[in-house]
Structure 1
Amino acid sequence: MRKFKWIFVVTLAALLLSTFTFAEVKAQDLNRMFYEARRDRDVTKIQNVIKTIEATLHFDKDTTLLTILADAYLEYGLWGISDKEKEKTYEKSRQYAEMALKLDPKNGRASYIAGAAIGRLAQYKGIVQSLFMLGDFDRYIDNAVKLLNETDEEQRLYKTFALIASGMRYRDVPWPLYNYKKSEEQLNMAAKLTPNYSNIYLELGYLYLKTGDKTKAKEMFEKVISMGPHPWLIKTHEDAVKSAQEELKKLK
């Protein structure tokens, strides 16, 4: 009888371990699929990520799956759907990111996604309402910068994203809430972290246009065009090159 109980306990432990391992592997596979979808802007692939996670039993209790799902909705809203569906999609991104943060308040990636989704949602609100959202945006983005680890490749990239978002916030919000010096500091910090990400220099170019430094703006736009893409953000780079080319035409 004791032998039977021992065999049962060992079998149960092995089953639980294999289930845990399978869940980890599934999350890794979905995260990799998300990265590929974002890299190539593959609508079908990102839809598959969303459908697979939402069909997973108890996904709402898993901070990793919720984070990937929130990220997928954020990207899907950027380039995968029509304009009339974007606001609803960003709402889902924020919702899932905040659910992930309730399970793990130290989830830096989820904190960035929540802030980025709020930033996108603010575009659909009036000036007064969007300014009320600024506090939540700052809280999430600042928290992401603090939490994300520069030594981990994935976390470093998301810290870069958070610094870019912060730089854009200080550049673009209405007076008296803008701070061009702070914007430049945040964007330059992003460039130190991920120097091969062209969008940083595109945003710096837009900043220098606002400050009236056309020479520096031109330098940044030319840098975007001359550099190669970040391997995880190829389509994003292609869009940045097109935008930089358009800005250079205006400066001639």
Structure 2
Amino acid sequence: MKNRRWIFLFTVFAILLTTLAFADSKTEDLNKMFYEARRDRDASKIQSVIKDIESTPNFDKDSRLLTILADAYLEYGLWGVSDKEKEKTYEKARSYAEMALKIDPRNGRASYIAGASIGRLAQYKGILQSLFMLGDFDRYIDSAIKLLDEKDEEQRLYKTFAYIASGMRYRDVPWPLYNYKKSEELLNNALKLTPNYSNIYLELGLLYVKTGDKAKAKEMFEKVISMPPHPWLVKTHEEAVKTAQEELKKLK
């Protein structure tokens, strides 16, 4: 009788382990698919990620799945939907990221996505309301910078994104007063983490345009044009090159 009980318990345990392993494998496959969709700006692939996760039972109880879903909505909002759909798409990104953080408050990637979504949403609000949103933006982005581990390849990239977002905030938002020195410091922190990401040089170039340093701005824009793309962000690089070329024309 005891042997049967042990066999039964062992069987249940083995099934549980197999189920968990399958779930982890599926999650990683979805994460990989998201990265591919972002790299290539593949609308059908990113839609598949969203559909697969939202049709997964109890996905709203899984911080990792919620994070990937939030990231997919944030990215899709940037280039995959019409202008009238953007605000609603960013709202979903923020909502799912905050749900992920309620489950796992130390989820640095979700903190970044929540902050970045708020930054995008602020564009659709009035001046006063967008200024009130700065506190949430700062809280999430600062938390992401603290939580993300630069020794991990994925987390290092998201920490880079967080530094860029914070650098742009100090460069472009008039309240508190523009802080170009702080912006440069934050963007250079991003550069130390991921020197092969062209968007950092682009944002530095735009900063130097604001400070009136045309020589440095030109150097940054030329760097964007001449460098190869980050392997995970190919289409993002192509867009950065176009912007850098346009900015160079203005400097002549």
- With normalisation by structure 2, the TM-score equals 0.99
Mapped to 2, the partners of 1:191 and 1:229 lie a distance apart of: 14
Q: Secondary structure at 2:39's aligned position in 1?
A: helix
Q: Deviations over 1:34-70 (max 9, x none)?
A: 0000000000000000000000000000000000000
- Give the Cα–Cα distance (whole angstroms) in 1 for the partners of residues 150 and 48 of structure 2: 30
1:92-241 to 2 correspondences below 5 Å: 92-241=92-241
Deviation at 1:166, TM superposition (A): 0.2
Deviation of 1:4 after TM superposition, in Å, equals: 1.9
For this pair of structures, how many residues does the alignment match? Answer: 252
Letter of the 1:116 partner, please give it.
A
TM-superposed deviation, 1:94: 0.3
The CA distance in 1 between the partners of 2:212 and 2:6, in whole Å, is: 76
In structure 2, the CA distance between the partners of 1:175 and 1:108, relative to structure 1 (3 Å rule), is closer
User: How far has the Cα of 1:177 moved from its partner?
Assistant: 3.2
CA distance in 2, matches of 1:182, 1:157: 20
Q: Partner of 1:64 in structure 2?
A: 64
Quick one: structure 1 residues 175 and 143, their matched pair in 2 at CA, closer, same or farther if it must change by over 3 Å? closer
Give the SS at the match of 2:230.
Answer: coil
Q: Distance in 1 between matches of 2:15 and 2:61?
A: 20
Aligned partner of 2:43: which letter? Answer: V
Partners in 2 of 1:7 and 1:88 — Cα distance?
52
1:5-50 deviations in Å (ceiling 9; x for gaps): 1111011001111111111001100000000000000000000000
Query: CA shift at 1:175, angstroms?
Result: 4.6
Q: Which residue of 1 aligns with 2:12?
A: 12
Aligned to 1:48: 48
Secondary structure of the residue that 2:149 maps to in structure 1? coil
CA distance in structure 2 between the partners assigned to 1:250 and 1:159 by the alignment:
31
Secondary structure of 1:46's partner? helix
Q: Unaligned stretches of 5+ in structure 1?
A: none
Secondary structure, counterpart of 1:114 in structure 2 = helix
TM-score, with length taken from structure 1? 0.99
**Aligned position for 2:29:** 29
The one-letter code sitting in structure 1 at the alignment partner of 2:235 is: K
Deviates more, 1:169-178 or 1:73-82: 169-178
Q: Which runs of structure 1 show a deviation greater than 3 angstroms over 4 or more consecutive aligned residues?
A: none
- 3-state SS in 1 of match to 2:129: helix
